[in-house]
Amino acid sequence: MKKYIYFFIISIMLISCSNQHNKLEISQFGIENENGEQGILVSETGDIKIMNEAIGKITVAGKVFDKKNKVIASLDNKDHLMDAKDNILCKIDKDGNIDNGSGTLISWTKNGEWYIGNEKANFKIRPNNPNLYRAASIVLFLYLEVSKK
User: pLDDT (tens digit, 9 = 90+) per residue, 10-59?
Assistant: 444 444 444 446 899 999 999 999 899 999 999 999 999 999 999 999 99
Stronger pLDDT, 5 or 77, i.e. the higher one: 77
Average pLDDT value for the chain: 88
pLDDT in tens, 53-110: 999 999 999 999 999 999 999 999 999 999 999 999 999 999 999 999 999 999 999 9
Distances in whole angstroms, Cα of residue 137 to Cα of each of 5, 13, 78, 92: 42, 31, 16, 7
User: Is residue 13 domain-resident?
Assistant: no
User: Is residue 5 domain-resident?
Assistant: no
Rounded CA-CA distance 147/149 in Å is 5
Rounded CA-CA distance 132/1 in Å is 42
User: Is residue 122 domain-resident?
Assistant: yes
User: Is residue 71 domain-resident?
Assistant: yes
R_g of the chain computed on alpha carbons: 17
User: Is residue 8 domain-resident?
Assistant: no
User: Is residue 11 domain-resident?
Assistant: no
Residue 113's domain comprises: 24-148
Q: State if pTM tops 0.95.
A: no
User: Is residue 1 domain-resident?
Assistant: no
Q: How many domains does the chain have?
A: 1
Work out the average pLDDT over 113-132: 96
